[in-house]
Structure 1
């Protein structure tokens, strides 16, 4: 597998002086969300999803019609540490507000090895990805993404090196893992070449406005949006030629409002909620923080589930509950069949808060771009 890094660009502490409000990474997310609202894609891929920040925002954003949201990253450790951000919350089961199904998947794999399961996807976002790629990997990237997968729209962002003169203490690149940083001209030459070769139109924009007197430098982050001129879908044989090169890391189906739920679906909806509730309560009571690969395995007795009125109203007996849940592939039982086995991450056991935990502790400033704490420019 090719080696590439897709961790979200975060500046080295000593290199930056400008702070934006909101931070530039949030501006990138907002730009993508706005584009998705306009384009209305049903299938979206975050290529180089890293800490799953964009995916977390897309799951919670209102007004989107995404049915399949997929993240891809090569770093399994980073994925393991951030899968909890993509799980449905207990409140999602208690009072679903989503009006359509949403399946969230997380894959481990390289951006140079296309996977057939992502063929003909509506939109691919690659935020702060390409600057982490070594030259041989970058050379293979367009063919894998534009040539093999044929997405309808690709949104790609990368640092604008023209802007770097506004960081007076910066030496080298903005991040230790960056292999390069392009000027606006270099970025546009590369994007124009990709668009011409793979039959796409491309538009340019950016986020992170410069101070008024430095407007000639462009935005802190430059963005290109590619739109395919070819509406023909790839043939199944073409998609299959890409093979299934990614490892499925996690998959979550988010609850949604449905006009008519079957009896089994109602039981599963309620059971999932109370299984999560009981598991977290048990971990909190026991004070057990021992984990395997960041996850704590918990055994939940079926008898405890039957103590909740919602469960008792749906299941006449413990055996009825057991037989119903055994039909669901997503429920795991112990050998006796009397306990449901589930796992929660250490992060989940500590907090149910799904909001961004990336924030600046220093004072925010408005659009006048005051110089402040060096760690907060992004």
Structure 2
């Protein structure tokens, strides 16, 4: 018999199965029980509906091996997300109750239960379906009937497996769980066999459990106090996001400085071009016009008046060596509007920072037409990054202290 191959590989199909369900149900809080090397967590962190992501595994070494893949990327500091995202990892047994597992909308248990002894499996059912009570539980496990299609396989697929169930055995266990804890279940799987083996079923059988009742907070603060913390926190990271007031403020300021610098450059370049054109025109006309004294002061005043009248209230303008950019102009840019709920919000943010200068009534941003504003913008950006770094460092220190205390 030719070896059975899967495309994509079977483990990727299992991960995609979970991801597809996350996209369907859009849970905000997801926990992966038996998270191992955190690969599924790494894939799930890109699902924008998720705000809290947690992983639990009894093997600390396998968690810590690649957990730093879950750290924010540099671009995520430069462009903070609109949604909050916190990722936490714990060392602990899925048979033990811990308050940190409460409040999750979806729990995934991928290729986990076959590693549990029968007494532990019973505690697992009570912990997940009776204590955690997530709205959705995804469980996958090997299909023993498929093993005959895997040439060279003697015994179980992995040396640590305590059992491998047939489809009927898995379904009987799942139905017992549902009747005990008021859930319903749908059966499916991933990893199809070759044509003609449809009766064998999937290589990996899956059960999607749905809670049949509204959670009534059986797990309130009082019940949490009655349960001791048995899990050990390993890793905690809060992603930069615009829900954080400091990050939002720094992002708004950086965005405003960017657009202000763009406007300033454009005005300076246009002024230089106009000056060049005026010089050429003067040189050409000076051959026939003996003196510029023929141009009356009244004409100059009229031209200046026309320029002033054609400038809209939201347009930047120049007085001497100072450029004024109305806040209404800055608020007209879509990114600034997205960051600030209103013009008043933008005004409040800019009024509270020393990184930009506003006019006396705080309706316009002031820039010099001659100074090197790029250096100023870079200095402001450095200051924002420094403030953000300090805030993140303080968060890390708080977490370190929590670890030491525990």
Residue by residue over 1:333-365, the C-alpha shift from the partner in whole angstroms, topping out at 9 and shown as x without a partner, is xxxxxxxxxxxxxxxxxxxxxxxxxxxxxxxxx
Name the CA distance, whole Å, in 1 between partners of 2:79 and 2:126: 44
User: Which runs of 5 or more residues in structure 2 are unaligned?
Assistant: 255-374, 398-406
TM-score normalised by length of structure 1: 0.66
Cα pair distance change 1:239/1:150, threshold 3 Å: farther
Matching residue of 1:208: 191
Name the CA distance, whole Å, in 2 between partners of 1:217 and 1:146: 29
Name the CA distance, whole Å, in 2 between partners of 1:243 and 1:52: 25
Name the CA distance, whole Å, in 2 between partners of 1:327 and 1:39: 32
CA contact 2:51–2:84 (8 Å) conserved in 1: yes
Name the CA distance, whole Å, in 2 between partners of 1:42 and 1:168: 42
TM-score normalised by length of structure 2: 0.62
Matched, 1:80 2:64: yes
Matched, 1:325 2:310: no
Aligned residues: 274
Matching residue of 2:201: 218
1:17-96 alignment, distance < 5 Å: 17-61=3-47, 64-96=48-80
Cα pair distance change 1:89/1:138, threshold 3 Å: same
Larger Rg: 2
Name the CA distance, whole Å, in 2 between partners of 1:87 and 1:327: 12
Cα pair distance change 1:309/1:84, threshold 3 Å: farther
**Tell me, what secondary structure is at the counterpart of 2:394?**
coil
Q: Displacement, 1:241?
A: 3.1
Matching residue of 2:163: 180
Matching residue of 2:217: 234
CA contact 2:51–2:85 (8 Å) conserved in 1: yes
**Tell me, what secondary structure is at the counterpart of 1:329?**
helix
CA contact 1:149–1:239 (8 Å) conserved in 2: no
RCO greater where, 1 or 2, for CA within 8 Å and sep 6 or more?
A: 1
1:218-297 alignment, distance < 5 Å: 218-235=201-218, 236=220, 237-257=222-242, 261-262=245-246, 266=250
Cα pair distance change 1:242/1:153, threshold 3 Å: farther
1:106-117 alignment, distance < 5 Å: 106-117=89-100
* Selected match of 1:312 from 357, 374, 379: 379
Q: Displacement, 1:119?
A: 1.5
CA contact 1:205–1:224 (8 Å) conserved in 2: yes
Name the CA distance, whole Å, in 2 between partners of 1:228 and 1:213: 36
Q: Displacement, 1:142?
A: 0.4
Matched, 1:147 2:125: no
Q: Displacement, 1:55?
A: 0.5
Residue by residue over 1:49-85, the C-alpha shift from the partner in whole angstroms, topping out at 9 and shown as x without a partner, is 0011110111124xx4111000000101111102112
Matching residue of 2:177: 194
- Cα RMSD (Å) of the superposition? 2.9
**Tell me, what secondary structure is at the counterpart of 1:60?**
coil
User: Which runs of 5 or more residues in structure 1 are unaligned?
Assistant: 1-15, 271-307, 333-378
Name the CA distance, whole Å, in 2 between partners of 1:312 and 1:31: 47
**Tell me, what secondary structure is at the counterpart of 1:330?**
helix
Name the CA distance, whole Å, in 1 between partners of 2:145 and 2:389: 61
Residue by residue over 1:133-190, the C-alpha shift from the partner in whole angstroms, topping out at 9 and shown as x without a partner, is 1222112110111111111110000000010010121000111111110000000000
**Tell me, what secondary structure is at the counterpart of 2:395?**
coil
**Tell me, what secondary structure is at the counterpart of 1:251?**
strand
Name the CA distance, whole Å, in 2 between partners of 1:206 and 1:323: 45
